[in-house]
Amino acid sequence: MSERITVGSLYAGAMPAARPAPAADRKAAPSSFDAVLQNQFVKFSQHAEERLRQRDIQFKPEQLLKINTAIDKAASKGAKDSLMLINDTALIVNIKNRTVVTAMDGASMKDNLFTQIDSAMIIS
């Protein structure tokens, strides 16, 4: 799997976009399919997407799955905002929203102080 994905796209065209059912076809449910789907995968804030583009950081699908698993683990331990290190990239992730809020490459991490986090995880 050497296929790279673009920021904000977990499946890079491999999976068609989900369309909500017409209102008449929908049954009352605690949450929509889209909401459930969004809560199961890692998302990227607009700021994080911009940083990823600026720093030419790209993730392979298997790396995104590892980040997703790390978010699950952090959530199970009660983390709220976590520093996640994967390869030479640092991510600050809001665990509750499953959202990467910023990203840094190795050069940007040097002499940097990470604040407002309650946990850290090294993803291998």
Tens digits of pLDDT across the chain (124 residues)? 444 444 444 433 333 333 444 444 444 445 565 555 555 689 999 999 999 999 999 999 999 999 999 999 999 999 999 999 999 999 999 999 999 999 999 998 988 899 999 999 999 9
pTM of the predicted protein model: 0.69
Answer yes or no: is 1 within a domain: no
Q: How many residues does the chain have?
A: 124
Nearest CA-CA partner of 83 in 113, 111, 39, 59: 113
Q: How many domains does the chain have?
A: 1
The per-residue b/e assignment along 70-79, b for 16 or more CB within 10 angstroms, e otherwise, is bbeebeeeeb
Burial (Cβ within 10 Å: 0-12, 13-18, ≥19) of residue 16 = exposed
Answer yes or no: is 33 within a domain: no
Nearest CA-CA partner of 68 in 33, 93, 34, 51: 93
Domain boundaries, position 87:
42-123
Answer yes or no: is 114 within a domain: yes
Answer yes or no: is 113 within a domain: yes
